[in-house]
Amino acid sequence: MPLIRIEVCDFKSYRGHQIIGPFRNFTSVIGPNGAGKSNLMDAISFVLGVRSAQLRSSQLKDLVYRGRRLARNPDGEDAGQAQPEEDEDEGEGEGDGTAKKAWVLAVYEDANKKEWRYQRTVSTSGQSEYRLDGKVVTLNAYNAALVQHNILVKAKNFLVFQGDVEAVAQQSPKELSRLIDQISGSLELAGEYEKAKEALDRATENATFNFTKRRGIAGEIKQYKEQKDEAKRFETLVDERDDLVLRRILFKLFHIQKSLEEHAHAIREQNKTLAGLRQEQRKHEKALEEARSEQAKARGNVMQKEKKIKKAEKALETKRPDLVRIEAQIKHSERKRDKAQQELEKLKQTENEQKRQLETLLKDLDTVKKAANAAQEAQRKAAQRNLSLSEESLEEYRRLKAAASVLAVDERQSLETLTRDEKTTGRTLAQLKDKLEQFTQKREKLEEERQSQQQKKTDLEQKVQELSADLAKVKQEDENQQSERKRIETLEKEINEKLVNIYEQLTQAGVDQQETARESRLKETLSNLQRIFPGVRGRVVDLCKPTQRKYETAVAVVLGRNIDAIVVDEEKTAIDCIEYMRNQRAGQATFIPLDTIQVKPVNDKFRAFAKGARLAVDVITYDPAVERAMHHACGNALVCDSMDVAKYVCYEKGQEVKAVTLEGTIIHKSGLITGGKSSSTGGKKWEEKDVQGLYRVRDNLMAQLLELNKSKPRGKESEVLVAEISRLESALSVARDDLNACQAKLDGVKSEIKHTDREIKQLQPELRKAQSAYDKVKEKVDALAAIINAAEDDIFADFCEQIGVANIREYEERQLKLAQAESEARLQFDTQIARLTHASQFVQEQIQMTTERLATYREIIATENANFERLEAERVAAQEDIAESEETIKELQGELKELNEDLEEKTKKVEEVKKTTSKASRVLDQALKEIATHNDEIEKLGLERSSIYRKCRLDEIKLPLEAGNLKNVPMEENLRDEVAMDVDEDDEGTQRVKRVPDYGIEVDFEALGEVDADEDPAETLKELDEAIAKANADIERLAPNLKAMDRLDDVEAKLLETEKEAEKARKDSKTAREHFNELKKQRCDMFNKAYNHISERIDQVYKDLTKGKMAPAGGVAYLTLEDSEEPYTAGIKYHAMPPMKRFRDMEQLSGGEKTIAALALLFAIHSYQPSPFFVLDEVDAALDNTNVAKIANYIRTHSSETFQFIVISLKGSLYERSNSLVGIYRDQDVNSSRTLTLDLTQYDD
């Protein structure tokens, strides 16, 4: 039994020190999920050196036990929380969940019955310790001891983790090949193998490089031998060319000398007429200066008069706003006076009404006082007429009254009660009547107030309408001024635009005049070049012409910067022309030599590419001799009738070509668009008359601008209107606020009237009810009073007869009535008198206030009348001042007109003198230009001769000389030394002939022989140039290597050295190939040995796992190599065909079939160099009971003392066939995994 037992201490779910085992040949590990079965698998893997990443933990310290013991209740149930225990011995105890390290010990027995103890410890800090038989060893020694027993940690040939079976079934051919490469040990040679392969590749590359190098050197030797012959021919051609060059130089110098003499003679002849022309020129210039002086004086007078007019107009402009301000103040004063007058009339009416009201009140007061006096007098007389009793009668009255009071006592008591009720109901009735009367009076007052507010509202509405009308009128006036200002501003803008255009034309006139002068100089230079240098044909713009006028702009744009380019026949002519222009300081020019210009052929597809598009070269006519220049200038550019055609060609068709429309717009090859126009048409020829016309138009526009400025509404007028608008808007806002307040007050009064009406309506039923109650009480009182009166009549009968009344009540009522009447009358008249007195005093106060307001408005009217008169006087004075200023301006304008007419006459005179002077100047300038041209030619010829001398010296050409030496010619060009800068004129006004240096050299022309006078020099030079060009072409074609002889010896020595290097590289390549082939054979042998063994075993293993009653032969399984040459670099395909099924790919098998196939492969691989034990973790999870029994039978059959199986399984059909069981359960008391071991061999039959 290889693996006897496993001891663990605080490892994962195993708390404390526990011993698991012993293990038999076929041991099954069983237990519920989560009990710790896989942790046992991890413990075996851990002690045998497997890395922590494959133990379901990210770090080694996670393997240390971290549980807590669960506390229990007294009845034995879990309390649900962990309780710490006392620490026990670390080795023997169970731990308390705070262990600092964990270890696993595996006891292994080899074939010689010797025990080996492998122990691995890990601490919470992640450190590992390895022990072998109790001694601490290194990891390498630990692994070496395992390898001795064929336990391969890297290949893991001793265990299968949970899920590895499925991974094996689904692995690719490459992965399967790598697994066998690892099992065979071939993978350990992979690094050395790759290095040997790289060394072989480098050696082979080096050998190839040396071979190629040697072949290249051999080719160089052959080439240098050919170049040696070519160099000799080159020297011969160079000698012939040098002779031609010397002849050309002599011919050129001969004709230069001849031309110098001719130009000097022509200058001397021209000087004879030059003095007279200069004297005539001075005379015309003096006349022109006098005419210009008179013109300047006239222009100065005009400018002074214009300044006076502007000053007067400016003063007038400052006066107009004052007049507008005064008129606005007058209008404002009139409105204020009229308004005050209206208010005064209203106040007068109010005052009369108040006086009438006071007179009425005083009259009523007097009437009431008289009535009160009359009533008092009447009362006095009535009192005298009343009965008067003696003391005895009064005493008798009192006695009888006492006697009567004892009669009808009950009635009297009831009467008193009813009398009190009568008074109560009477008071209630009186209160209701008073309340009704108050509400009635209040309604009358509210009605009066409503009428007053209604009248006030009407007045405010009228006032708002008047203010709105005034505001609209003022706004309309302001809008009229604004529209007038805008109209004037529009006209000013138009005039300013015209002025800008005029100024641009005047500026352009100056530029065009400069352009005209430049073009004249260019034409003059071109004519000189054509006269001096044969082969100068002219400018491009002069050599071509558009076929139709509509193409002129487009052609000018196409030609672009080449439009003024000068076309010449030869490049040399262009160089000479440039040299001449530089010496003459005649500006710059572009030259197009027809002989060397590079011209791309015209693309014929563009000739009919699109309707409305045509090649630029097809719309111009030109001499066939300059065709190359035209093709160079135009290229493949297209002239398009419209922008749409150009866009169609460039954008829709995607052609990279320059397209130009008839208007001059360009679409470049890059797609950019540029607007342009031709500059070759030549600007307008600005004459002095046209410029003067522009000045007159400018002055006319300036005068119009000034008139518009005068008629423009002034800022102060606008400010007055704005102020008036602001005032009216403010007044209108106040009036509207008053109107709104009045309307709100009126609405309140109406609401109070409605409320009063509702109160009156509610009081009337109450009043009727109170009246009815009072009448009923009154009836009862009257009935009881009748009874009491009857009783009193009996007692007072004699007394009444004595005093002469019908009954005693008549006497009593008469006396009471007199007292009450007197009191009521006095109270009534006093109330009326007080009321009328207060009313009259109030009206008097109103009259006094009205009188004061009348005085105020009279003062306002008087003040505004005074202001109106003062402002009217100021307006008259301002109008008179303005009229006087306008008259002064008219007089000044009349004087200005006369001065302008005088200026025009002086200007015409200047123009006439200028024309005469210009004509004389042109004659003189023409003579001077001819002389200057001859001098330029002399200078040019002198420079050309110096250039030839310098070239001969630089090129070491042996020029035949009669006198002098080429060493006298300076190597650097110096115009001051080579060209004498003589004074242009002498005392007589003539031009001298320019002296050019000859450096004391006289050339011997005998080598030329006889020169034919009729011979064309240009033709002869052309023939010589063609011969020289042909010789140069032949020389250039040869391109000899003059150092070929020297290089030949070096290359031969290099060839010898290269052959030695090639031999060494060949030997190195052979050695590297032999070493690589040796490693390749060794690796192939190791791989093939393992592969052949596994391939032979796989079919039998698969048959043993799949055979049954229905298929006694079992299934078929085999392996195939994808590459038999180097099998470890390619894949291995695994084929499995279950019993009674046709062949399918591994991916198409069921889960159980894949598991069986994977187990067969694992068992076959394990059979190659097998480890002494094999641990399987739930490999039967996807199998049914039948297949599980087959697996169990296979394991039972192949297990032995030297080959041990430890299987973790939950299937009874598997573990019931094992030799022993290891049961794992969860001990909740200590929160740890526990194990039980059962030996099943005792139960075997």
Closest-CA residue to 326 (of 715, 875, 719)? 875
Predicted confidence at residue 9, as pLDDT, reads: 92
With 80 as the cut, is the pLDDT of residue 134 above it? yes
More confident residue, 1052 or 732: 732
Count CA atoms closer than 13 A to 761's CA, side-chain side: 6
What 3-state DSSP class applies to 17?
A: strand
pLDDT band for position 977 (50/70/90)?
Answer: very low
Q: What is the mean pLDDT of residues 649-671?
A: 88
With 80 as the cut, is the pLDDT of residue 30 above it? yes
Q: What is the mean pLDDT of residues 786-814?
A: 74
With 50 as the cut, is the pLDDT of residue 163 above it? yes
Instruction: Read off the pLDDT of residues 194-223 as tens digits, 9 standing for 90 and up.
Output: 788 888 788 888 878 877 877 777 777 777
Predicted confidence at residue 659, as pLDDT, reads: 92
Query: Residue 265 is which amino acid?
Result: H
- pTM for this one? 0.36
Give the CA-trace dihedral at 555, 557, 560, 563, to 10 degrees: 40
Region label for 185, one of left (φ > 0), alpha (ψ between -120 and 50) or beta (otherwise) = left
Dihedral sign (CA 1144, 1149, 1153, 1155): positive
Predicted confidence at residue 686, as pLDDT, reads: 45
Spatial contact of 39 and 1233, defined as CB atoms under 8 Å apart: yes
Predicted confidence at residue 81, as pLDDT, reads: 41
Q: What is the mean pLDDT of residues 54-71?
A: 68
With 50 as the cut, is the pLDDT of residue 978 above it? no
pLDDT band for position 567 (50/70/90)?
Answer: very high
Instruction: Read off the pLDDT of residues 1164-1177 as tens digits, 9 standing for 90 and up.
Output: 777 777 777 778 87
- Look at 683-697, 877-891, 1029-1043 and tell me which has the smallest mean pLDDT: 683-697
The percent helix, strand, coil of the chain (3-state, each to 5) is: 70, 10, 20
Please, which contacts does 111-119 make with residues 24 or more away whose CB atoms are closer than 8 Å? 111/1202, 115/4, 116/145, 116/149, 118/47, 118/48, 118/142, 118/145, 118/146, 119/47
C-alpha triplet 114, 119, 122: angle, nearest 5° = 175
Closest-CA residue to 771 (of 428, 437, 440)? 428
- Look at 390-404, 554-568, 836-850 and tell me which has the smallest mean pLDDT: 390-404
How far is Cα 124 from Cα 56, in angstroms, rounded to an integer?
16
C-alpha triplet 928, 934, 938: angle, nearest 5° = 140
More confident residue, 585 or 631: 631
Q: What is the mean pLDDT of residues 242-262?
A: 81
What element of type H or E holds 639?
A: strand 638-640
Instruction: Read off the pLDDT of residues 426-437 as tens digits, 9 standing for 90 and up.
Output: 888 888 888 888
With 50 as the cut, is the pLDDT of residue 523 above it? yes
Number of neighbours of residue 532 by Cβ within 10 angstroms: 17
Instruction: Read off the pLDDT of residues 446-466 as tens digits, 9 standing for 90 and up.
Output: 888 888 888 888 888 888 888
With 80 as the cut, is the pLDDT of residue 814 above it? no
Predicted confidence at residue 1048, as pLDDT, reads: 65
More confident residue, 680 or 951: 951
Number of neighbours of residue 658 by Cβ within 10 angstroms: 21
Instruction: Read off the pLDDT of residues 608-638 as tens digits, 9 standing for 90 and up.
Output: 788 889 999 989 999 888 888 998 899 889 9
Query: 165: which 2 tokens?
Result: 């079976």
More confident residue, 928 or 864: 864
- Look at 159-173, 563-577, 826-840 and tell me which has the smallest mean pLDDT: 159-173
With 70 as the cut, is the pLDDT of residue 965 above it? yes
What 3-state DSSP class applies to 1110?
A: coil
Predicted confidence at residue 77, as pLDDT, reads: 40
How far is Cα 214 from Cα 792, in angstroms, rounded to an integer?
183
**Which domains are delineated in the chain?**
1-158+1174-1245 (3.40.50.300), 529-695 (3.30.70.1620)
Crossing angle of helices 1151-1166/1185-1198, nearest 10°? 10
Q: What is the mean pLDDT of residues 31-39?
A: 84
Which of 336-345, 567-576, 781-790, 1122-1131 shows the highest mean pLDDT? 567-576
Instruction: Read off the pLDDT of residues 895-940 as tens digits, 9 standing for 90 and up.
Output: 888 888 888 888 888 888 888 887 877 777 777 778 878 877 888 8
pLDDT band for position 818 (50/70/90)?
Answer: low
Q: Where are the alpha helices (DSSP H) in 3-49?
A: 37-47
pLDDT band for position 517 (50/70/90)?
Answer: low
Spatial contact of 1079 and 189, defined as CB atoms under 8 Å apart: yes
First to last CA, the chain: 22
pLDDT band for position 566 (50/70/90)?
Answer: very high
With 50 as the cut, is the pLDDT of residue 73 above it? no
With 90 as the cut, is the pLDDT of residue 677 above it? no
With 60 as the cut, is the pLDDT of residue 89 above it? no
What 3-state DSSP class applies to 83?
A: coil
Dihedral sign (CA 478, 484, 488, 493): positive
- Percent share of the chain, pLDDT over 70: 86
More confident residue, 231 or 975: 231
How far is Cα 81 from Cα 65, in angstroms, rounded to an integer?
17
Spatial contact of 190 and 1027, defined as CB atoms under 8 Å apart: no
- Percent share of the chain, pLDDT over 90: 2
Predicted confidence at residue 339, as pLDDT, reads: 84
With 70 as the cut, is the pLDDT of residue 1134 above it? yes
Instruction: Read off the pLDDT of residues 141-156 as tens digits, 9 standing for 90 and up.
Output: 888 888 777 777 666 6
Predicted confidence at residue 620, as pLDDT, reads: 92
More confident residue, 231 or 19: 19
Predicted confidence at residue 593, as pLDDT, reads: 92
More confident residue, 189 or 1234: 1234
